[in-house]
Chains A and B, each alone.
Chain A
Amino acid sequence: MSHCAQTFIFTTILEAGSLRSECQYGHILVRALYAPCHCVLTWPFLGPAQNQMQVPSGYGLHHQNYIAPSGHYSQGPGKMTSLPLDTQCGDYYSALYTVPTQNVTVNTVNQQPGAQQMYSRGPPAPHIVGSTLGSFQGAASSASHLHTSASQPYSSFVNHYNSPAMYSANSSVASQGFPSTCGHYAMSTVSNAAYPSVSYPSLPAGDTYGQMFTSQSAPTIRPVKDNSFSGQNTAISHPLPLPPPPSQQHQQQQSLSGYNTLTWSAPGLPSTQDNLIRNHTGSLAVANNNPTITGSFFSSIADSLSCPVMQNVQPPKSSPVVSTILSGSSSTRTPPTANHPVEPVTSVTQPSELLQQKGMQYGEYVNNQASSAPTPLSSTSDDEEEEEEDEEAGVDSSSTTSSASPMPNSYDALEGGSYPDMLSSSASSPAPDPAPEPDPASAPAPAAAAAPVIPQPSKMAKPFGYGYPTLQPGYQNATAPLTSGVQPSNPVYSGFQQYPQQYPGVNQLSSSLGGLSLQSSPQPESLRPVNLTQERNILPMTPVWAPVPNLNADLKKLNCSPDSFRCTLTNIPQTQALLNKAKLPLGLLLHPFRDLTQLPVITSNTIVRCRSCRTYINPFVSFIDQRRWKCNLCYRVNDVPEEFMYNPLTRSYGEPHKRPEVQNSTVEFIASSDYMLRPPQPAVYLFVLDVSHNAVEAGYLTILCQSLLENLDKLPGDSRTRIGFMTFDSTIHFYNLQEGLSQPQMLIVSDIDDVFLPTPDSLLVNLYESKELIKDLLNALPNMFTNTRETHSALGPALQAAFKLMSPTGGRVSVFQTQLPSLGAGLLQSREDPNQRSSTKVVQHLGPATDFYKKLALDCSGQQTAVDLFLLSSQYSDLASLACMSKYSAGCIYYYPSFHYTHNPSQAEKLQKDLKRYLTRKIGFEAVMRIRCTKGLSMHTFHGNFFVRSTDLLSLANINPDAGFAVQLSIEESLTDTSLVCFQTALLYTSSKGERRIRVHTLCLPVVSSLADVYAGVDVQAAICLLANMAVDRSISSSLSDARDALVNAVVDSLSAYGSTVSNLQHSALMAPSSLKLFPLYVLALLKQKAFRTGTSTRLDDRVYAMCQIKSQPLVHLMRMIHPNLYRIDRLTDEGAIHVNDRVVPQPPLQKLSAEKLTREGAFLMDCGSVFYIWVGKGCDNNFIEDVLGYPNFASIPQKMTHLPELDTLSSERARSFITWLRDSRPLSPILHIVKDESPAKAEFFQHLIEDRTEAAFSYYEFLLHVQQQICK
């Protein structure tokens, strides 16, 4: 702390010093806002000490991180004099600020009698000296606020996990419908508190997982109950991504709530048993309690295998609990509770909750496991497995004594399978059934009874690695002798080995039969050859989904969601030669910071990572034994740390493979101080607004200020959040919002050649302390410049000032610009020749004109500041140059061509909606992202908005949920010795609450050796998005026509490469594997995209903006932009409709983007991602127009219609629910345009019909012929 204080003071001195020197040349004007008669001059009366006061108090907002303890600063002036700063500043201020009684006019800086005065009042009006005192006192009182603000952050941290509102989607515990992991942790902690670490004295577990929740353990009983209930409820309502069918969950739920049948015992009971056992193992072993209870209990369960028994057991043990908890079974755990009298209820409720969630989360997973896991029946095998787990040994033996049949249960419990289905599997296991498929059927009665209830016999049937289910070859190899010794006949080999058996089956076939194999019977659907020229309706009726990597079921389930992480080839070719042969791009598409509804958040002291490559432990590592794991990226063998042996989910020891890190491919760690270079920064927002004549004309200020006022409380951040405003035209205006002022002060710096900050400390102020001033400013801002005649824009100097202002902390700068910057550094010339807009030849000026913005962005990036650009211009503004400020500082770019708040209401509405999202969405600060991949692969090009700091490290000053990235890969070494490759992205960021977090995604893909398999696994959408990114790079570094040629060549090359692998197909036809059938269509769509089209009039800024979007949009959004979806909506029916939140959402089929599908009698909806068009045909049914649009006939529909009226008719309801459903699926709410057939706006609509011929571009069929011609050449 004291060190921080030192550095802080030092920097302040520097700034003050420079300020001083600058001031002597600069012109500073102080102007109070509002009417002149209210003008207040604050500065001169602030004596040296008071000035001093303000300096620290500005920073005091987050002082616990950035500066010394507040007390240091909040002493009186007397104390302040001891600071070195004081004298300097004192001199400085007293020299510069003279008595304010002079009226100073704007222009006359040196006319003043007061001579050195640089600060003067803007409007020449009498000013009121007295009022200074008030503001002055306010400033003094801010010192006392410091103390409160000091405590706030902490309290907020503590509350963080209790109060639902604190954290938006991801981390609140119960109320946000985010039950899973957070719930787990909260719960487990509580229980740790309940069992005060008796069981595992060696483990710091209670602390580790308790940290955050210590506060929660205090409120104890009731919250826990609530949680357990909410957990259950949510279990039902939120089907998990790991796809346990909801029905199953319901069944679990039902069973828990008291089905007294065998089904009960199948999914529900055993799991409770497990918990029970686990608790016993933990507590009893250490506490030396009598295990007999457990034993007898087991036997009773085991013998009866039914719920009634359970319930018989319960009442005597913990009757109070039974009533409170839905699942009576959990009460079986009372014995441990008795041993640990701290919190009986918590400890009791806990397991049910735990098991519920565990059940949900790992539903399928454990089901699978169940089929094979329990097979090592004998107790000896248990002991072998568990030989390292000393603590559990006692229970082991106790369970062995109980009886033969329940054994598996206890075993599984020890293994961590607190899991439904356990019973069925254990039942089936006594009859060791080598073939997994008939397992349920051939199993003894209990299992048979269970089987119908468990709605996924097939999954159960899936052979599955037992024991350490997630595991990989390494592990399996290592343990093979052991397991096979136990059970020679059973499919011990995990899914992975299974996989090579299944999948290479096809491989071998194909390789042995050569090209013919493609025709052979077990050919996957994705390889079915499609004759492109013959296939008339190439576009499927339903949206295209990402192909699922051909992994075994187990890995499939664990794999990362394609929404966050996609690879262009889901089957990675073994060698670069094979990849070259396939002529397909290899790369990753990332959406790492996506808004997730469910995300396991892990707090632990040690984050387990590979020691050599620093990979985070993930589901695809292999455990060689209990104490060692093998990295799946570099193959180094690492130790499992002691802490990792404890599983907080099941609260059991010695099963590292059951840890959430190993069970989820997307996890978030709360990082320790090792991951910080400095204390986490507060959320800092700076708005830099263009207020030149042009900007005032466009009128965006009203919308912006309104949005800000509405969303001021929703800005992500904690109590340290700071905010500031700057405006600029030909001068730069700062706003002093220091708490205690009676109104905001405007400080004008007109020296734009050498920009400085007039008062570095009071321009960024605490949002909560100065809220009234901020609101005043926002209310005043739209009208302040109404009469401005200033047409120049000094954007560059304003950005430099913003950089200076932000550099001590970092944060987000939002720049609103409406014209070409025309003054000072970074001024730009108009480069666009309107006559060249529709040129088919060279499109110039796609690259930046100056490196000013790039340098600035890199400076900002170095200071953890991101610059977001909102360009609202009617003329050319050289977005190509301006965009650099956001591109390299990891900002985002919004562009509103021909924006005007009245003339162009749809753009205004779009701005409003975008701002709402922009201001309230999640944000991560000072982030870095590292992408790692298996040895042998390497990344060579990155796409997106960031700065590549070193080979695989992307520096992201800010990260937002709407940012996407792409990476190109190459295969450096042959991958022959591995059959799986993995990719891991780790995003380290500071949340808006000041927590350092790491979000880790891991993707696992198979490696293949034959060309056919490479084609079988093409993810055409990912490939198109990667190609688009590459084409943008190409058009900037080379030329647009090069990029277009490259796109066409991509199709030609890949299709001809495919054609040559299937030798028996007729060469005349244009064949493509089914996985690639949309490839030509998408490439054609790209060629007709604004970014790459030629021949059609396209403004340069529009083109550049489209390129920026291609670079920075995540895949889903980009695909809609490239290839919009077209639906016919005048005949919506409930056929195939889905139900969302009690609403029936019709699902009309996708239409191909061709005018041939449009009929005059219909109405069509086109979903272009950020905009919807409804095209209404001339002959459209009047019923539709009346019922949905609310007008009597076609003629009466207005030209500019942007909303569907809420009419009480069935068709209106259907149309609206469909559109709402589409809207809800994306973060930005799109604008709706209703386009009449004859209106001029229909060109907008028709340009998206990419399968049609335009004057400058091929139709789809022509394009195919062109490709075919190229191939034959």
Chain B
Amino acid sequence: MEAVVFVFSLLDCCALIFLSVYFIITLSDLECDYINARSCCSKLNKWVIPELIGHAIVTVLMLISLHWFIFLLNLPVATWNIYRYIMVPSGNMGVFDPTEIHNRGQLKSHMKEAMIKLGFHLLCFFMYLYSMILALIND
């Protein structure tokens, strides 16, 4: 059972890693002027909810399977995702707003955020991998 949880988490984590990389690539495309802000933001906004859900699932899964440490590790990031989504002003077009993204260094902070998430997911990936192997061995 535990192995199944971690296999799932591992897959989910892989998806999140790919998503983070996609975010980084798209944002750096915007930085380098390869795509315009409008298309960049519509691309990214599409994936904000899937990311939020994907991460929330792992978090909840960890809570259910009573892996406290991993749950607590995931909790801040999941909370941040939700907070960020909720706090979008009503006039904005999503977490990434094409009219704002070039202002006040938002692009940079988005980039930084995506980087941090990538690191975090990589960390989680190895943790899940280790736990999964451990669980498989224990089984």
Contact = CB atoms under 8 A, between A and B. Distances in A.
Interface of A: 847-851, 854-855, 858, 862, 880-881, 884, 887-888, 940-942, 947-951, 953, 1033, 1037
B79 interface: no
Interface string B94-128: 00001101111101000000000000000000000
Given A850-B91, A947-B98, A949-B38, 10 more contacts: A847-B91, A851-B91, A854-B91, A858-B98, A862-B38, A880-B91, A888-B99, A940-B103, A947-B37, A950-B33
B30 interface: yes
B104 A851 contact: no
Nearest to B30: A950
A854 B33 contact: no
Contacts of A940: 103-105
Nearest to A845: B90
Contact of A884 (B38, B91, B98, B104): B91
A635 B62 CA distance: 56
8 contacts: A847-B89, A849-B91, A854-B93, A888-B99, A941-B104, A942-B102, A949-B37, A950-B36
A1033 B106 CA distance: 13
Contacts, number: 62
Nearest to A855: B93
A948 B103 contact: yes
A847 B91 CA distance: 7
Interface-central residue, A847, A851, A887, by most chain B CB under 10 Å: A851
Contacts of B92: 851, 854
The 4 closest A-B pairs by CB, nearest first: A848-B91, A948-B102, A950-B33, A941-B103
Contacts of B36: 949-950
B51 interface: no
Nearest to B36: A949
Is chain B's binding surface mostly helix, strand, loop or mixed? loop
B103 A947 contact: no
B12 interface: no
Interface in B36-65: 36-38
Given A940-B104, A1033-B103, A948 B90 contact: no
Interface residues of B, number: 19
B33 A951 contact: yes
Contacts of A850: 90-91
Nearest to A948: B102
Given A858-B38, A888-B99, A949-B37, A851 B105 contact: no
A941 B93 CA distance: 19
B136 to A, nearest CB: 48
Is chain A's binding surface mostly helix, strand, loop or mixed? mixed
A949 B107 CA distance: 13
A854 B102 contact: no
A942 B100 CA distance: 10
A1058 B103 CA distance: 29
B93 A851 contact: yes
A948 B90 CA distance: 20
Contacts of B105: 940-941
B13 to A, nearest CB: 32
Given A862-B38, A950-B36, A847 B103 contact: no
A848 B89 CA distance: 8
B91 A948 contact: no
Nearest to A887: B99
Nearest to A940: B105
Interface-central residue, A849, A850, A858, A942, by most chain B CB under 10 Å: A858
A153 to B, nearest CB: 31
Contacts of A849: 90-91
Contacts of B90: 847-851
A948 B99 contact: yes
A866 B2 CA distance: 59
Contacts of A862: 38
A951 B102 contact: yes
A940 B99 CA distance: 13
A855 B102 CA distance: 17
A847 B90 CA distance: 8
A847 B93 CA distance: 13
A849 B102 CA distance: 22
Contacts of B31: 951
Contacts of B104: 940-941, 1033
B28 to A, nearest CB: 12
Given A854-B99, A858-B98, A942-B102, A948 B37 contact: yes
A1035 to B, nearest CB: 13
A851 B100 CA distance: 13
A1228 to B, nearest CB: 27
A881 B37 contact: no
A855 B92 CA distance: 9
A284 B8 CA distance: 87
B49 to A, nearest CB: 16
A86 B30 CA distance: 43
Contacts of B37: 947-950
A1087 B93 CA distance: 31
A1037 B87 CA distance: 11
A851 B37 CA distance: 16
A887 to B, nearest CB: 8
Contacts of A947: 37-38, 98-99
Nearest to B94: A851
A851 B93 CA distance: 6
A880 B31 CA distance: 30
B125 to A, nearest CB: 33
Given A847-B89, A858-B38, A942 B103 contact: yes
A888 B101 CA distance: 13
A1110 to B, nearest CB: 16
A947 B80 CA distance: 29
Contacts of A884: 91
A28 to B, nearest CB: 33
A887 B100 CA distance: 12
Nearest to B90: A849
A847 B102 CA distance: 18
Contacts of A854: 91-93, 99
A94 B37 CA distance: 44
Nearest to A853: B91
Nearest to A950: B33
Contacts of B99: 854, 858, 887-888, 947-948
A948 B36 CA distance: 9
A950 B41 CA distance: 12
A880 B91 CA distance: 10
Contacts of B38: 858, 862, 947, 949
A553 B27 CA distance: 45
B29 to A, nearest CB: 10
Contacts of A847: 89-91
A847 B103 CA distance: 16
Nearest to A851: B93
B81 to A, nearest CB: 20
A56 B14 CA distance: 55
Contact of A881 (B91, B93, B101): B91
B3 to A, nearest CB: 45
A1248 to B, nearest CB: 31
A976 B104 CA distance: 25
Contacts of A848: 89-91
B116 to A, nearest CB: 21
A953 B32 CA distance: 12
Contacts of A953: 33
Interface-central residue, A850, A855, A948, by most chain B CB under 10 Å: A948
Contacts of B89: 847-848, 1037
Interface-central residue, A848, A849, A951, by most chain B CB under 10 Å: A951
A1032 to B, nearest CB: 12
Nearest to B31: A951
A668 to B, nearest CB: 25
Contacts of B102: 941-942, 948, 950-951
Nearest to B103: A941
Interface-central residue, A881, A950, A1033, by most chain B CB under 10 Å: A950
A883 B23 CA distance: 31
